[in-house]
């Protein structure tokens, strides 16, 4: 019972974190909108299971990296409020992780959706 209570609190904290993440920052909103568009396109083009797995994985991966990047940015600001080269490096590397996942997601999106758009062209 105690274990279940603890799990419930942990879930609540995670939801609280996600709420702050989407409320306080612009990049997550942009990536969430892109993800919603991908899901709408997925339903429109009747994706198969493998394509759905790829789309859901890409959306989750980009948003997760974005959340980790955001947490690292805030932690860096607490640890190093004044200018420090290594603090900047931490932020740049975390931003690089978001860039890698976004580019990969974009390429996978093109691989899945471009042939489907070409099929419906007159």
Ligand X SMILES: Nc1ncnc2c1ncn2[C@@H]1O[C@H](COP(=O)(O)OP(=O)(O)OP(=O)(O)O)[C@@H](O)[C@H]1O
Residues assigned a catalytic role: 66
CA distances, 47 to each of 36, 41, 53, 88, 116 (Å): 15, 9, 10, 41, 10
Place of tokens 């099929």: 119
Among 32, 95, 97, 108, binds ligand X (CB under 6 A): 95
Region from 11-19, 43-51, 90-98, 114-122 binding ligand X, contact rule CB under 6 A: 90-98
CA distances, 120 to each of 27, 48, 113 (Å): 32, 17, 11
Among 22, 27, 32, 45, binds ligand X (CB under 6 A): 27
Minimal CB distance residue for ligand X: 88
List interacting residues with ligand X (CB under 6 A). 25, 27, 73, 80, 83-84, 87-88, 91-92, 95
């Amino acid at each position: 019972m105690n274990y279940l209570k603890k799990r419930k609190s942990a879930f609540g904290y995670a939801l609280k974190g996600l709420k702050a993440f989407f409320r306080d920052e612009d990049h997550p909103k942009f990536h969430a909108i892109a993800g919603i568009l991908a899901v709408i396109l997925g339903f429109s083009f009747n994706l198969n299971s493998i394509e759905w797995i790829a789309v859901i994985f890409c959306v989750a991966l980009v948003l997760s990296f974005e959340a980790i990047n955001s947490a690292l940015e805030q932690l860096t600001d607490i640890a190093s409020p004044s200018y420090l080269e290594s603090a900047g490096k931490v932020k740049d590397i975390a931003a690089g992780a978001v860039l890698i996942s976004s580019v990969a997601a974009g390429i996978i999106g093109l691989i899945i959706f471009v042939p489907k758009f070409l099929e419906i062209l007159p």
